[in-house]
Amino acid sequence: MKLKKRTKKALTLLEIMIVIFLIGLIGSVVGYNMKGSLDEGKAFKTKQAMAQIHDILLLEIAKGVPTKDVLEKKEKYLENSGLVKNVKELLKDGWGKEFDIKAKGLSDISIHSTSLTNYENKKRKALGEKEITENDEVDETES
């Protein structure tokens, strides 16, 4: 009885190149689709942070603390609330830029993120809607 000798079949260079090309193609498609998801996540984080800052600072104003004092020492009031783990991170939007927090009347505050406005304008432009400028009265904390 004769035993047949097994031969190993190696992958050819062409087969390896095709596999690498397909992996690269799939990776680029996934990466392109993830970009929109990352921006959506940043916008969501920004809106949630704006709402949280707005609520906590309004609670301090409701306790009788002057609005000017709350805005000047916002880090202290956010930290003392016990509701915020990392105050420095909370005061930045999803893109890492500081929020613009101003008094709006005697007992209200306005929080604005330029990056969020730019992102929403980019989305509106893609959908063919009217863009929002910084001068437009939009309360982003209610979004």
Encode pLDDT of 14-36 as tens digits.
999 999 999 999 999 988 888 77
The string of pLDDT tens digits covering residues 68-110 is 999 999 999 999 988 889 999 999 999 999 999 999 888 889 9
Residue 142 lies in a domain: no
Range of the domain at 46: 32-130
Q: How many domains does the chain have?
A: 1
Residue 73 lies in a domain: yes
* Percent residues over pLDDT 70 in the chain: 88
Which pairs with CB-CB distance under 8 Å and at least 24 residues apart come from 88-93?
90/49, 90/52, 90/53, 91/49, 91/53, 92/49, 93/42, 93/45, 93/46, 93/49, 93/50
* Percent residues over pLDDT 90 in the chain: 55
Round to whole Å and give the CA distance between 59 and 81. 9
pLDDT at 142: 45
Residue 1 lies in a domain: no
Round to whole Å and give the CA distance between 112 and 135. 11
Q: Considering the entire predicted model, what is its pTM?
A: 0.69
